[in-house]
Structure 1
Amino acid sequence: MTRYQVAERKVDDYITYVLTDAEYPAEAHLVPGLGNNLFRFTVNNQEVFVSPEKISMIKDASARFGNPILFPPNKIRHGSFSFNGKKYQLGLNKGEHHSHGELRVRAWNVIDRGAKADRGAFVVSEFDFADHPDLLEAFQARLVFRFTYVLQDGVLRLEGEVRNESEVAAPFMLGFHPYFNVKQGHEQQTVMQVDSKLEWPVNEEGFVDGAPTPTDLCQQLTKGLLYPDMPKGRDHAFVTVKDGTTSCQLIDQQANHKIVYEFGDQFPFMLVFQPSWNTSVSLEPYTAVTDAFNLDVAEQTGARGLEPAEQFVFTHSFRVEKL
């Protein structure tokens, strides 16, 4: 049997791709037709992500399973902001606000796939604003997203490239929303670890409400915060990671292993989120703070543009290690 394989399957009327590394064994399941969501990843039968019971559930809850792609991440107040002297208006999909963008739910196009001994199993998907007139109009620029998921040596890697194919700069804010599985019965021995420098105050609506400051919670997350020890009445913490920090961890002391998420140095902000609808932790790296273009402290928010012909290139990876 060939070590690396890619299989195409139809499940719940959606085409999925299963990347396999037979040696570990490890499997990664991707559904390009629903936001290019990598909705399941297993290593040695360990479920890394929270997966839906049915793939069709992603259509109605596209930001609640697997590893949703966020552009822009989190909320935009009233869906509107300004960039380079221009006004932008996004659709209102979360009450009177915009939340998490459209890339997480719309169909991506698979442009290549394969399996090679020196490359692993891979699927290349693309999302082009030129195929979506409403997004082309809303962002006033043509952006092309090309993401490659690779499974190699038991490690899941995401190689991303975003290109501005327009003659004008485009506002740019990218994030991810992976839901890491916390095994039931292991909550008391599960630790969230993120090297955190500053915490951003967030109001009840989820918007940043002031400048970031060092907090006790930053120190706890840096040292390692037990899953049950998130401050009472809160389900999240929004932080700026420490300089040089490129990864975070979810440690299961009872199972004697940890999930390591490498997100590189281009995503300096992280939302640590404990959802109420399942037992998981979402460690969400962002290039910019929530609603960054509408904040007064712009120099600290990561708000930026992607210039004409400019490329934003990054690599993320997920792996399971023994303690």
Structure 2
Amino acid sequence: MQFKELTQTRVVELQTESYQAVLLPEYGGNLVSLRHLSSGLNVLRTPTQLDQLKEQPERYGIPILFPPNRIEDGMFTFEDRVYSFPLNDPMQRHNHLHGLVLGKSWDVIEQSDTHVLMQHRIVETADFPHDCTLELIYRLCENGLSQQMTVINDSANNLPLGLGYHTAFTMSENSQVWPTLTHEQWELVQPRMLPSGRLIELPTVTLPFSDEQEVSLHCPMGSGRFNDSTLRGVAITHPRLSQAVIYQVDDAFKHWYFWNEGGGQGFFCAEPLTWMANAMNMDSPASITGVQHLSPKATWSATTQISVQPINA
């Protein structure tokens, strides 16, 4: 896609000497392209036409999930208030999937050559009884891309707070994905793909993930090391370029969901989540599920970073 030729939607371009990024505010506030200039590496899976982004917004760039993942029957109760979401999970699973803002338009509040501030307001309805504001800042520098999301509870009641990103990375030949895990995964019950609440051991042959390997995995997040540095996130190697993409997330994110549409598609979604799938309907304590709330008029923020680094020999 030649973004400069787009006339039917706003295009925001950020650039430094090392990186170039493209955002489409009207298409989910999605940062759809991140390019490492010296290596030529396209870090993120980028649509070739706008129709792809309209039809499958969760499969390109950095889609925003608020709240993230699946909600059983599209419904939960919090502080005696019922929250309802559309049943949009494929294959008639009778779940809600991916939240309220996926694909929705964002307003650009501030912009320069290296940063952009976008905002999306959620208006109170009977189904979601809160006014709240999401503010998203992207900053590009010589060390890579930083992403900061701030949630503001504009309502008079506690807001159940869950955030995730459906970040879609490119996979090249012989790429490997090294995530930081606890070596346990959430047992998912078919056919609805909802967690049972039981942790089971990860097979030792699972890691690292490859492009050809089918991956659909939900698990708690851990910490580790890559390139002799501490990592809480994933590292994706591109051996032909001798480069690795480093996706670093902060402590707000407690869980992962990994997915690659059956494998062999040339992309890999590494999805950091502040709460687990169906968190609001689980019997487990909040310390495990990641459930939290935001007090009236309070703010909350979470940060991630993406960089490209040479692979240590």
What TM-score, normalized to structure 2? 0.87
CA contact (8 A) 1:145 1:162 kept: yes
What is the deviation of 1:12? 5.6
CA offsets per residue over residues 175-225 of structure 1, 9 Å max, x none? 001111012xx1xx32211121131011232211232234335xx66xx51
1:249 to 225, 235, 238: 235
Gaps of 5+ in 2: 225-230
Report the AA paired with residue 168 of structure 2: Y
| Rounded Cα–Cα distance in structure 2 between residues aligned with 1:228 and 1:61 | 20
What is the deviation of 1:243? 5.7
CA offsets per residue over residues 246-293 of structure 1, 9 Å max, x none? 222112233311100011111010112122483111110000001101
CA contact (8 A) 2:10 2:25 kept: yes
What is the deviation of 1:10? 6.2
Q: Which runs of 4+ in 1 moved over 4 A?
A: none
| Rounded Cα–Cα distance in structure 2 between residues aligned with 1:246 and 1:303 | 20
DSSP-derived class of the 2:220 partner: strand
| Rounded Cα–Cα distance in structure 1 between residues aligned with 2:7 and 2:195 | 38
Question: Where do residues 195-206 of structure 1 align in structure 2 (5 Å cutoff)?
Answer: 195-197=180-182, 198-204=184-190, 205-206=192-193
CA offsets per residue over residues 65-106 of structure 1, 9 Å max, x none? 111000111111111011122221112222432110131211
Q: Structure 1 residues 180 and 110 mapped into 2: Cα distance closer, same or farther (>3 Å)?
A: same
DSSP-derived class of the 1:14 partner: coil
1:194 to 150, 154, 179: 179
CA offsets per residue over residues 99-123 of structure 1, 9 Å max, x none? 10131211111111113xxxxx111
1:237 to 217, 233, 237: 217
What residue in structure 2 maps to residue 209 of structure 1? 196
| Rounded Cα–Cα distance in structure 2 between residues aligned with 1:65 and 1:56 | 12
| Rounded Cα–Cα distance in structure 1 between residues aligned with 2:46 and 2:242 | 22
What residue in structure 2 maps to residue 113 of structure 1? 111
Q: Structure 1 residues 229 and 297 mapped into 2: Cα distance closer, same or farther (>3 Å)?
A: farther
Report the AA paired with residue 306 of structure 1: L
Say whether residues 1:263 and 2:249 are aligned partners. Answer: yes
CA contact (8 A) 1:139 1:171 kept: no
Q: Structure 1 residues 243 and 253 mapped into 2: Cα distance closer, same or farther (>3 Å)?
A: closer
2:270 to 263, 270, 283: 283
What TM-score, normalized to structure 1? 0.85
What residue in structure 2 maps to residue 118 of structure 1? none
Say whether residues 1:145 and 2:134 are aligned partners. Answer: yes
| Rounded Cα–Cα distance in structure 2 between residues aligned with 1:229 and 1:128 | 40
Gaps of 5+ in 1: 1-7, 116-120
What residue in structure 2 maps to residue 315 of structure 1? 303
Report the AA paired with residue 268 of structure 1: K
2:23 to 23, 27, 30: 30
More helix by share: 1
What residue in structure 1 maps to residue 95 of structure 2? 97
CA offsets per residue over residues 146-187 of structure 1, 9 Å max, x none? 00111111511112111111110011111001111012xx1x
| Rounded Cα–Cα distance in structure 2 between residues aligned with 1:276 and 1:156 | 28
| Rounded Cα–Cα distance in structure 1 between residues aligned with 2:309 and 2:36 | 10
CA contact (8 A) 2:121 2:131 kept: yes
CA contact (8 A) 2:211 2:267 kept: no
CA contact (8 A) 2:22 2:34 kept: yes
In percent, how many aligned pairs have the same letter?
A: 22
What residue in structure 2 maps to residue 303 of structure 1? 291
- The size of the alignment, in residue pairs, is 294
2:260 to 266, 274, 280: 274
Moved more, 29-38 or 266-275: 266-275
2:279 to 265, 269, 292: 292
Report the AA paired with residue 128 of structure 1: R
